[in-house]
Amino acid sequence: AYVSLVVFLLSYGGYMGLSGTRGHVARRALSIFFGGLVALWLVSLVIFASYQLVDPVTAFFDRALFDKLSTESGVERMSWNAQAWQNFLDTMTLGAGMGSVRASNWLLAALACLGLVGTGLYLSFLGSVLRQPARSGDARADATVMGLKAACVAMFINALLTAASPNLGVFFFCLAGLATGLARGGNLAARQRAPHRDDAASSAAA
């Protein structure tokens, strides 16, 4: 969970920062980028110093992160991943079928179950959800769509680290469906409003 949170904050936060500076002065984008790097370096320095000098922090990180792979559960999960990769190779990248292989990593589980083509199509679907534009003209609706997509990203990152099967769950697909439906509906409504604004502008000019 902690690793998923860090990856989500870095990836989605970076994406939002870049999209937010699109079209602005390059100097502002660079200042935000380098400011983020400095902040990340400072936070990393504090965490590293705390791990080295503060015993409770050391014990927490050892228990939560660094000693995970050496435990019985960690060894078992790594063996699942190795077997999933071997099944992917044994089936000549075609996959062994949905639910037939267990792993501890979404990508390996998808490759072992769905094969290379199936995993590619699955990732294409996920990409299409995230590429849905939120430009309806309604700030609340656009914020809702962005929040739904952020939730999908967070759940997918967690699945990449821990999921035993390619199935991302009913809740994920509910969020993805809501994000897609609201985005497409908002964009359609915005296109329908555009001719009325043009007619009103023409009437005012006349």
Question: How much is the pTM?
Answer: 0.65
Does residue 23 have a pLDDT over 60? no
Supply the pLDDT for residue 67: 66
Supply the pLDDT for residue 171: 95
- CB neighbourhood size of 78 (10 A): 13
Q: Give residue for tokens 């290379």.
A: 116
CA distance 72 to 63: 13
The sign one gets for the Cα dihedral 66, 70, 72, 74 is positive
Does residue 1 have a pLDDT over 70? no
* 132 alpha carbon, distance to own chain's centre: 14
Burial grade of 30 (CB within 10 A; 0-12, 13-18, 19 or more):
exposed
In tens, the pLDDT along 110-165 reads 999 999 999 999 999 999 988 887 777 778 888 888 889 988 988 998 888 888 89
Rounded-to-5 percentages of helix, strand, coil across the chain: 80, 0, 20
pLDDT grade, residue 24 (50/70/90)?
very low
In tens, the pLDDT along 175-206 reads 999 999 988 888 787 777 666 555 554 555 55
Supply the pLDDT for residue 25: 45
In tens, the pLDDT along 73-116 reads 778 888 888 999 999 999 999 999 988 888 888 999 999 999 99
In tens, the pLDDT along 29-88 reads 556 666 666 677 677 767 767 766 777 767 776 666 666 666 777 788 888 889 999 999
Supply the pLDDT for residue 131: 86
